[in-house]
Structure 1
Amino acid sequence: MAENTYRKGDIIELTVTDLAEKEQCFGRLPCGMGVMVSGMLAVGDRISARIRKVRQRYIEAQAVEVLEPSVDRVEPPCSFFGVCGGCKLMHVGYEAQLRYKEKKVSDALRHLGGFVDSPMAAPLAAPSPEHYRNKIEFSCSSKRYLLQEEISSDRLQAPKNFALGFHAPGNFEKVIDIDRCFLAKEPMNRVLGLTRRFALENNLEAYGAREHTGFLRNLVVRYSEERDELMVNLVTSWYDRDLMERYAVYLEEGMAGAGMTIVNNVTSRRNTVATGEREYVVRGSGVITERLGELDFRISANSFFQTNTRQAEVLYRCILEGAGLREEDTVYDLYCGTGTITLFMARHCRRAVGLEVVESSILDARSNAEYNNVDNALFFQADLKDFKTMLPTLEAHGRPDVVVTDPPRAGMHPKALEAMVQLGARTIIYVSCNPASLGRDGKEIALAGYRMESVRPVDMFPHTAHIESVACFVRE
């Protein structure tokens, strides 16, 4: 078929040669035309696909059938794979996942950063690709997402007006009712099952996002590996003291022997965000404690904490290794959150200064410093796009020898990036959760007179397309 004869609706055959963002893959037709294909595929799959759009330089298509499976393809253990949007790579063997993620970082550095020969090490694999998360947010909805087998058979497997699980991809009001998440610790899955049973037995009305009605909104479960502690946070539209007392007794009986604190976040906001305007501690202290390295962190219901505890330690040791700290050094930690990296660094230098825009995070960071008896860490609330205006105040504590920056997925604000390189630190450690941002910001850091010395991907989130990277830049 000649290139100009392809039409919408045609069935084409091709081999997947690369993975792209979200659920898209890439391949080429014999004529050389590129094809972006939607569907849960693996590199090496020989597929048929239906054309959706013919553009000037490439074709968009939807996968129809895997004709010859890739050697990288495996059977996903989760029955909700392909419906739930969480684990987009569960059908790919873990070694192949690591190769894909390594290539993703390398491509971004080459194409967006201009680093032709980036000094990149192999990704650090997670000890286990399953049951690694220490926090899971489940959503509750009055509109249950119907599975294809239910629609085909016209026979419901459960009530349509209640679901506790994960939002269907691209749908803010419908939730997939799941019984188990393969990324959650098993005690967290037990809490999920008990909470669903309690809600159904007590006729609790699920929240309707469009109508803004209903009582039960979210279930957030956190787990401390170090202390074997659970935090159960039920997010509701109003406070019902007697009901929460019955729920606590129900959980305690069902989770016999488990160390547990139970809290109730209450919100009247018109959204599905799992945080409250008010918080009630129903059982226990309202916090759990987790350990990273030699530090203990008290985690409250709405605190930020890395969701993969063991790999967070690996990530932080990579940061420490790249920084090459000396006893007399001053470190600035930009986008410091609750201060985990700042405190990790403070034990190896003269002073560590953390900057963060969120007030509650700064309060948590100061509390964590006090809890761990770290007296050489300072924390300031600051909007980093106004970083330059803060420099006179910060320099009273010493100009930085090392800067660590851990920005959001979008990367650093241009003004913050400009001010950071003007500090003239000996070393800049850029911690990235988005290879594209690392490529773009890394290019600007290099143009300011820094050499990229090393890049180390760290797989914090197996079965997903996300990859963390620690990049070390040394001033020329």
Structure 2
Amino acid sequence: MRCDYFDAGACQSCTLMGQPYAAQLAEKQASVAATLSAHVAGQAWAEAVPSRESHFRNKAKLVIGGSKAAPTVGILDAAGHGIDLRGCGLYEPGLATVVESLPALLADAGLTPYDVPTRQGELKHVLLTHSPDGELMARVVLRSPGQRRRVTGLVDAVRARADLPRLRVASINLQPAHAAVLEGPEEELLTDEATLPMRVGEVILHLGTRSFFQTNTAVATALYGQVAAWVADLAPSAVWDLYCGVGGFAVHVAAPGRAVTGVEVSAEAVRGARCSRADLGADTAAGLRFVAADATDHALAAPPQDRPDLVVVNPPRRGLGETLSRWLDSSGIPHVVYSSCASATLAEDLARMPAYRVRRARMFDMFPQTRHHEVAVLLSRR
């Protein structure tokens, strides 16, 4: 893949841009395997799951710069001025159309971009998520609530465009601080619909405005499918999905006669997960429940007789940490599936769990053109 923005030095986010994709994938696999070499034997690795080289991103996190008449959508330079990246080749086709159209829509709405050097203006970011069924979630991040009328006008303008994906969910997020923070604590929903359905294989997940979902829908589908296959082979009677988010792993491993508990600290994500549960067949959904709680607190509070046969964990980049990883090591739970976006912290957690050995491992190229990765491992007691 070639990128004019990268070649011109305007954006260097894709650090592997210009390298042949096969070489990228091989280098990434080798790097992840080297990081985990103390814990994962060579024969445990399955072939890496590749991605499309371009047009794979289902979300756009756009910094708004420039002026009211000529806004930019993309990133900021070192001086805090906007760099327009509306033609970025990473976005899915429907999402790319929205990003291309956004500067003109923002100008028509009369929203003034926030200028970092002078600390003036209102519009900070636009956060977009695009679904496989061609629907859109749009979150407009403002400095203060005074521009609500202009944002509702923007929502109406997007909905009036037949060439754009259907805008299903829209919101205003307030981020008043002068800080490099993407969003603030206050969110106002502007639409009747509160969640964006994301079709992942045969499953539909429901994303709220603050819900996390993988950036690459096709590779996320492969990740969920691989974990579901590992779990199916083991046929556990009870499963926990810790850090479950909107329930991706929990919904995929749910089965008639199996008790599955998803645990997530975000109440909004749990509401989305319960919507996903409602879409399942009655027999599959019967044993599936979701709890709004801290993953570590939930694990430590459960009496030994309530521990499951298998735990799926999908923690943030910082990993499980010492308390939860050491608890798992001493828990007696037969199997753990660990999905990680940072092999370095995965290696740290595996070092704290010597009671387990890695039986299976696979790298998923969720982020082509960069060194970022997703890796999943299946652990069993020695």
TM-score range, shorter chain: 0.7 to 0.9
Residues 80, 201 of structure 1: alpha-carbon distance in 2 compared, 3 angstrom cutoff: farther
- Secondary structure class of the residue paired with 1:79: helix
Alignment-derived partner of residue 102 in structure 2: 195
Say whether the 8 Å CA contact 1:275–1:302 is kept in structure 2: no
1:129 aligns with 2:53: yes
Return the match for 1:382 from 258, 269, 293: 293
Greater relative CO (CA pairs within 8 A, separation 6+): 2
User: Partner amino acid for 2:48?
Assistant: P
Alignment-derived partner of residue 178 in structure 1: 85
- Secondary structure class of the residue paired with 2:44: coil
Residues 380, 440 of structure 1: alpha-carbon distance in 2 compared, 3 angstrom cutoff: same
**Correspondence 1:303-322 to 2 at 5 A:** 303-322=211-230
Return the match for 2:134 from 216, 228, 231: 228
**Correspondence 1:320-399 to 2 at 5 A:** 320-325=228-233, 329-347=237-255, 350-372=258-280, 374-387=285-298, 389-392=300-303, 398-399=306-307
Deviation of 1:338 after TM superposition, in Å, equals 1.6
Deviation of 1:344 after TM superposition, in Å, equals 0.9
Return the match for 1:459 from 358, 365, 375: 365
Q: Deviations over 1:144-198 (max 9, x none)?
A: xxxxxxxxxxxxxx96xx5321244xx5944321221211123323222332113
Deviation of 1:427 after TM superposition, in Å, equals 1.5
CA distance in 2, matches of 1:172, 1:359: 38
Alignment-derived partner of residue 25 in structure 2: 98
Return the match for 2:157 from 250, 253, 264: 250
CA distance in 1, matches of 2:182, 2:251: 29
RMSD: 2.8
Q: Deviations over 1:319-357 (max 9, x none)?
A: 122234555610111211121111111126611112222
Deviation of 1:231 after TM superposition, in Å, equals 2.4
- Secondary structure class of the residue paired with 1:233: strand
Alignment-derived partner of residue 182 in structure 2: 273
Say whether the 8 Å CA contact 1:329–1:350 is kept in structure 2: yes
Residues 371, 90 of structure 1: alpha-carbon distance in 2 compared, 3 angstrom cutoff: same
Say whether the 8 Å CA contact 1:194–1:251 is kept in structure 2: no
Residues 286, 384 of structure 1: alpha-carbon distance in 2 compared, 3 angstrom cutoff: closer
Aligned residues: percent identity? 26
If you compute each CA radius of gyration, which structure gives the higher value, 1 or 2? 1
Residues 381, 420 of structure 1: alpha-carbon distance in 2 compared, 3 angstrom cutoff: farther
Deviation of 1:307 after TM superposition, in Å, equals 1.8
TM-score (norm 2): 0.87
- Secondary structure class of the residue paired with 1:315: helix
User: Partner amino acid for 1:350?
Assistant: R
Higher helix share: 2
Deviation of 1:214 after TM superposition, in Å, equals 1.4
Q: Deviations over 1:114-144 (max 9, x none)?
A: 5564622221112x1211111111111359x
User: Partner amino acid for 2:308?
Assistant: P
Alignment-derived partner of residue 77 in structure 1: 3
1:430 aligns with 2:357: no
Q: Deviations over 1:32-53 (max 9, x none)?
A: xxxxxxxxxxxxxxxxxxxxxx
List gaps (5 residues or longer) in structure 2. none
CA distance in 2, matches of 1:123, 1:330: 29
1:404 aligns with 2:325: no
- Secondary structure class of the residue paired with 2:111: coil
Alignment-derived partner of residue 49 in structure 1: none
CA distance in 2, matches of 1:296, 1:470: 22
Say whether the 8 Å CA contact 2:321–2:349 is kept in structure 1: no
Deviation of 1:368 after TM superposition, in Å, equals 2.4
- Secondary structure class of the residue paired with 1:318: helix
**Correspondence 1:150-189 to 2 at 5 A:** 162-168=71-77, 171=78, 173-189=80-96
Higher strand share: 1
Say whether the 8 Å CA contact 2:125–2:140 is kept in structure 1: yes
Alignment-derived partner of residue 63 in structure 2: 139
CA distance in 2, matches of 1:425, 1:267: 43
Say whether the 8 Å CA contact 1:142–1:206 is kept in structure 2: yes
List gaps (5 residues or longer) in structure 1. 1-74, 144-157
CA distance in 2, matches of 1:299, 1:194: 24
Alignment-derived partner of residue 14 in structure 1: none
User: Partner amino acid for 1:121?
Assistant: A
Which moves more between the two structures, 181-190 or 411-420? 181-190
Residues 173, 329 of structure 1: alpha-carbon distance in 2 compared, 3 angstrom cutoff: farther
CA distance in 2, matches of 1:164, 1:444: 44
Residues 312, 163 of structure 1: alpha-carbon distance in 2 compared, 3 angstrom cutoff: same
Say whether the 8 Å CA contact 2:246–2:270 is kept in structure 1: yes
User: Partner amino acid for 2:176?
Assistant: R
Alignment coverage as a number of residue pairs: 375
Residues 365, 260 of structure 1: alpha-carbon distance in 2 compared, 3 angstrom cutoff: same
Q: Deviations over 1:4-44 (max 9, x none)?
A: xxxxxxxxxxxxxxxxxxxxxxxxxxxxxxxxxxxxxxxxx
Deviation of 1:433 after TM superposition, in Å, equals 1.0
TM-score (norm 1): 0.71
Return the match for 1:261 from 168, 176, 182: 168
